[in-house]
Amino acid sequence: MRDLTVTLDGSGLRIGIVAARFNDAVVGQMLDGTRARLLALGVADEDISLAWVAGAFEIPLAARAMATSGDVDAVVCLGCVIRGETPHFDYVAGEAAAGILRVGLDTEVPAVFGVLTTDDMAQAVERAAVDKGDKGADCADAAVELVQLLRRLG
């Protein structure tokens, strides 16, 4: 069996981040975790690009523009959608997920889904906090790993 395991080494990689302003207290925590982990993996601070958008629904279009720019090796998409009393949650979360997936498939630039979809704010805070769930760091790992794997697969 051929082992395709890669090393989490971000040296020389250029990573884009698209972050949603809606629920920005939560997204800000995820952004902190993503940036800290990228730096720890060897990505240079000047090789991290950040674009803000209104909400999770707008993430895919900005991520696609970033992916097709040729300026990044991967795009980390950060947002937070909290369930409410209307079906709005289902539409926004579902379309954000489908759009982010399509960005990666269409451009062949990894687009990492870092949009929290939770039932309440407490769940979102728990998952986003860098000293607890640290989903931002998980997204950084996923981006670096997928870039390295795709390069290895040629």
Catalogue the active-site residues. Answer: 88
> Of 119, 135, 144, nearest to 26 (Cα)?
135
- Decide: 74 and 13 in contact? Cβ < 8 Å: yes
User: How far is residue 98's CA from residue 69's CA, in Å, rounded to a whole number?
Assistant: 21
Distance separating alpha carbons of residues 15 and 74, to the nearest angstrom: 5
* Max Cα–Cα distance, the chain, nearest Å: 50
Residue partners of 64: CB distance under 8 A and separation at least 6: 103, 106, 107
How does DSSP classify residue 133?
T
Query: Are 111 and 74 a contacting pair, CB within 8 Å?
Result: yes
